[in-house]
Amino acid sequence: MSELTEKGKIIKGYKATNQDLTCQGYKFEVGEWHEHDGDVELCKSGFHFCPHMSGVWTYYPNNPKIWKVEAELVLLDNAPGADLKYVAKRIRLVKEVKIGGDGNTGDRNTGDRNTGDCNTGDRNTGDCNCMDHSPDFLCMKERKALCFDKPTELTHKEMREQWGMLIDDLAYAMSKDEAFDYSAYSALPNWTENRCRELHQAHIQARQTAKEE
């Protein structure tokens, strides 16, 4: 039997309301915590929301407002599916999601800052994903990331959260032809000096080839 997550542990997701901020007759206020009086039970009682944007469209197909939400005391369901939903005792609407997303370079995204197309998650480079930070296609579950061509124990999102600044710094160094201190990036998963050096040479060669074409 599933148990509620502890109070103070924030679970993020998405929720739909009618245009007047009501859902099943309950009126929400943006930014305020709302607490359900009584037990929570999936599909019966409590505040329901989805971990993936795609789930929202399943339950609210007709012109809803879509919100990023934060919830506490959540009854989690580990069943697979893009329409997966959770139920919580406490929830608040954090920010409205404008359909089309913000900062996308791809097309038909409802998430934010995607370079791929048709994503409901954020920062995807692949297409039609409902999670975040994925270079893959048509996925609901994020796989472990590669680093220096070898598997890590982290997802793409976890890699970005833990090593984002160092990766960005290394990427800038790789964009130059001049040699640099490869050992400065030894904390990255799967790093070796030879791998770092070979990657730099590959970037240099790719730039030279592009100039010749």
The verdict on residue 46 lying in a domain is yes
**What pLDDT sits at residue 1?**
52
The verdict on residue 132 lying in a domain is no
Same domain, 22 and 84: yes
Same domain, 85 and 155: no
**H or E element in which residue 150 lies:** strand 150-155
**What pLDDT sits at residue 179?**
92
User: CB count, 10 Å around CB of 138?
Assistant: 11
pLDDT in tens, the chain (213 residues): 568 999 899 999 989 999 999 999 999 999 999 999 999 998 899 999 998 877 787 787 677 888 999 999 999 877 666 678 999 999 999 999 877 778 787 888 888 888 888 888 888 888 888 888 888 998 888 889 999 999 999 998 899 889 989 998 999 899 999 999 999 999 999 999 999 999 999 999 988 888 886
**What pLDDT sits at residue 121?**
85
Give dist(CA 25, CA 16) in Å, integer.
Answer: 13
**What pLDDT sits at residue 110?**
81
**What pLDDT sits at residue 81?**
67
The DSSP secondary structure of 79-144, one letter per residue, reads --STT--EEEEEEEEEEE--TT-SS-SSSS-SSSS-SSSS-SSSS-SSSS-SSSS--SSS-SSPPE
Same domain, 92 and 163: no
Same domain, 85 and 16: yes
Domain boundary among 29, 64, 96: 96
The verdict on residue 27 lying in a domain is yes
**What pLDDT sits at residue 118?**
86
The verdict on residue 37 lying in a domain is yes
The verdict on residue 113 lying in a domain is no
The verdict on residue 35 lying in a domain is yes
Same domain, 24 and 84: yes
Domain boundary among 96, 111, 128: 96
Same domain, 92 and 156: no
**What pLDDT sits at residue 90?**
97
Count: domains in the chain: 2
Domain of residue 198 covers: 144-212
Give dist(CA 5, CA 201) in Å, integer.
Answer: 49
- Claim: this prediction has a pTM higher than 0.85: no
The verdict on residue 164 lying in a domain is yes
Domain boundary among 36, 66, 96: 96
**What pLDDT sits at residue 204?**
92
The verdict on residue 2 lying in a domain is no
CB 75 within 8 A of CB 63: no
